[in-house]
Structure 1
Amino acid sequence: TAQNNTYPLGTVHSVGSGDLNVYDVVGDSETKTKNNVAMIVLYDIRGFNVTNTRLFCERLAYEYKIRVLMPDFFRDQPTANATWPRVEQDLLTVNTYLHSEGYTKIGLIGFCWGGLRAMKACGNGNNVSWTNTPFFTGISIHGSQLNVPDADVLQVPMLFIRAGNDPSFDSITAVLDQKLFGSRCEYKVYQNMTHGFVSAGANYSNPANVAAIDDVHQTLRTYLSKTVASTYPFGTVHSIAGSELKVYDVVGNNGATTNNNVAMIVLYDIRGFNVTNTRLFCERLAYEYKIRVLMPDFFRDQPTANATWPRVEQDLLTVNTYLQSQKYTKIGLIGFCWGGLRAMKACGNGNNVSWTNTPFFTGISIHGSGLNVPDADVLQVPMLFIRAGTDPSLDNITAVLDQKSFGSKCEYKVYEDMAHGFVSAGANYSNPANVAAIDDVHGKLRAYLTKIVGNGSENMKASFITIAFFAFFVKIFSALL
């Protein structure tokens, strides 16, 4: 039984020069749809003319405001005629059509029969003509016959959803966890549902089934928001030579020398190293500002309490030395929550810090936890402080820093409608207000860093001129003697 459809209906039309029809739903009739995103739906074994599957397309397009196309792969022929080469060609045909319509981020959603095909199309197996998949993500909903060989050649993150009576994801997860994008793959099981509960087999007279479908749509929107936002180059995990310390390392400019030889070290929040949202922050900052961003694993899979300040300090010095060996001359810090306080400490010369002068040119605290006056007293460089409306006031910090020579360069920003953690681990990419706030934070960071780096450049330039002039004077004076 299909739910009463209150969403705009799609239209059936042909694409390309062949006989391929699509069910086409535009999510926002007045403006270009969200972020130029389009999703291609690969239906289940019931085929093209199933009300429940079309309803899924209509709801996704309307609620998420994206373009959704469902091709008719079977063409009213036996299912066996829809061979992989023909499905692949149909996907390329629709992909070309969507690009011609101005859509730049195209993904796949497959049900049952279509779930496996979505997975195949997101990889580069021998039976796929492309070297690099043209799709930015795939979603498999109660996918049938998902397998390790296709997981082995997967190239982009995927969301996997299954019912309680569908096969386990364990073998797939074990493979994908080893991939660079493994932390961005997601898995969800609806234990009380049965195979087909979202598409052709959906029972809209069953409240539990309706609730599960509602949750699936929410899960999809959240996942897509994160994945659309994370179309930045991935970083790599490696250890620093001669150390047990691992870092998540993102180079923002295709491996070339990055912006002004600037690098930022990110100190994560209490959730630690393997958090998708925090890594996404690093990737976006590196890509948009074209700088090097490294996030060390201070916790090392140990209790947080083991990350004492002396050990954190040593880790920061290790990474700083490594970055200097890579020719980065301006190294700063960004800390979230737990890391916000440590960034502040490292930008000063308190008694519990071994350096007399901080090696870092600036620090940024984002919803920092435990910020305090003693650490503000010994701060040596400008900082940017960002907090949520639920975080403690920065007034006592501001009062201290206003008295310093660099006080006018310190900046403060409050996002009153946000809650603690909104930029990193606690970010909610299905909430438009949270997404807008994150966008603003990145804009604020880039503007602040540009100013501070520029100030630093002028100071360095002035110092260089002074030294050069002095050397020239000494040389002339010596020649006269």
Structure 2
Amino acid sequence: MTVHNTNQACCSIPPVKSDYSPKGTTEKTGGLDTYSIGPKDAKHAIIVVYDIFGFHNATKQGADLLAESTKARVVMPDFFRGKPFPQSFYPPDTDEKKQALQSFFGAAGDFGARKPDLEAVADELKKDGAAKLGLVGFCWGGKMSVIAGGEGTKFTAVAQVHPAMVDAADAEKLTVPVANFPSKDEPQKDVDAFEAAVQKKPFAKDSVYKHYPDSHHGWAAARADLSDEGNLKNFQDVYQRLADFFNKQLA
């Protein structure tokens, strides 16, 4: 079996049910259905790359918070085209489910295949008047966001929250500041190596890092349990840090 994602927490923690009512709307951006909130003519825009569970109310709630705190246009494209990884397959406790998860990372979740989608969304946002673009991703989306911050990037700054498949090689290729917010479940040696690579960059002083040692992988997206006081506190904290980061970098 080909393994595309070796993060054990990502491959075991199921999403939660959320009763939040999102404030945004769904429209087409770059050819994709996109959750959108904030002024369409904003000079700054932030693209949110969700985790493998796709459009989830907790992730939309985060996007709403980000839009409110930055006054930017915030969009979350549906890269999986209505077919996120099935929640019924969590936890992947059989060989069939495990294979399905890894196959998902190799197909719908293939970063190379999604890159043109991301660029199409970025181009349309710029056409609509966004002078600067930010990018933030969760789990799978965190890896995608950092990869997109390499040479020739369309983004002024990128961010990853409880990222999957943390790799210092991705940090070495970055050309723009990064905000990095790992959970307790990302391998510490990989997180440390990533951060060490960032600190060697000329934009190290503009980059932001906070480790959340008491939060599980997914606490800021589809696996957020906001009925838990500790999870809620760190959920609010990380979105405020993201807003502060983007407010500074996109100014």
Of the three residues 422, 432, 453, the one matched with 2:229 is 432
Residue 257 of structure 1 and its aligned partner are, at CA, apart by 4.3
Partner of 2:204 in structure 1? 407
Of the three residues 221, 240, 247, the one matched with 2:29 is 240
- Three-state SS of the structure 1 residue aligned to 2:150 is coil
1:265 and 2:47 are equivalent in the alignment: yes
Q: In 2, distance between residues paired with 1:453 and 1:235?
A: 22
Of the three residues 130, 140, 149, the one matched with 1:347 is 149
Partner of 1:327 in structure 2? 129
Structure ID, larger Rg: 1
User: What does 1:161-310 correspond to in 2, within 5 Å?
Assistant: 227=20, 234-240=23-29, 243=31, 245-251=32-38, 255=39, 257-258=41-42, 261-273=43-55, 275-302=56-83, 304=104, 305-310=107-112
Question: Alpha carbons of 1:306 and 1:389: their partners in 2 closer, same or farther (altered >3 Å)?
Answer: closer
- Three-state SS of the structure 2 residue aligned to 1:391 is coil
Residue 322 of structure 1 and its aligned partner are, at CA, apart by 0.8
Equivalent position amino acid for 2:35 in 1: Y
Structure-1-length-normalised TM-score: 0.42
- Three-state SS of the structure 1 residue aligned to 2:75 is strand
Residue 246 of structure 1 and its aligned partner are, at CA, apart by 1.4
Q: In 2, distance between residues paired with 1:348 and 1:337?
A: 18
State the Cα deviation string for residues 315-338 of structure 1 (Å, max 9, x = none).
111111110111001111100000
User: What does 1:440-479 correspond to in 2, within 5 Å?
Assistant: 440-454=237-251
Equivalent residues of 2:157, 2:250 under 8 A apart: no
Equivalent residues of 1:391, 1:419 under 8 A apart: no
Partner of 1:380 in structure 2? 175
- Three-state SS of the structure 2 residue aligned to 1:415 is coil
State the Cα deviation string for residues 427-449 of structure 1 (Å, max 9, x = none).
11111111111111122112222
| Unmatched tracts of structure 1, length 5 or more | 1-221, 350-356, 455-481
Equivalent position amino acid for 1:358 in 2: T
Partner of 1:389 in structure 2? 184
Equivalent residues of 2:143, 2:164 under 8 A apart: yes
Q: In 1, distance between residues paired with 2:131 and 2:205?
A: 24
State the Cα deviation string for residues 382-428 of structure 1 (Å, max 9, x = none).
10000112222221011111111112222111111111100110111
| Unmatched tracts of structure 2, length 5 or more | 1-16, 86-103
Moved over 4 A (4+): none
- Three-state SS of the structure 2 residue aligned to 1:327 is coil
Percent identical: 33
Equivalent position amino acid for 1:436 in 2: K
Q: In 2, distance between residues paired with 1:340 and 1:429?
A: 21
Partner of 1:371 in structure 2? 166
User: How many residues are treated as equivalent by the alignment?
Assistant: 213
Give the RMSD, CA atoms, in angstroms.
Answer: 2.0
Residue 240 of structure 1 and its aligned partner are, at CA, apart by 2.9
Q: In 2, distance between residues paired with 1:271 and 1:390?
A: 18
State the Cα deviation string for residues 357-381 of structure 1 (Å, max 9, x = none).
2110011100000121221111100
Q: In 1, distance between residues paired with 2:219 and 2:181?
A: 11
Partner of 2:116 in structure 1? 314
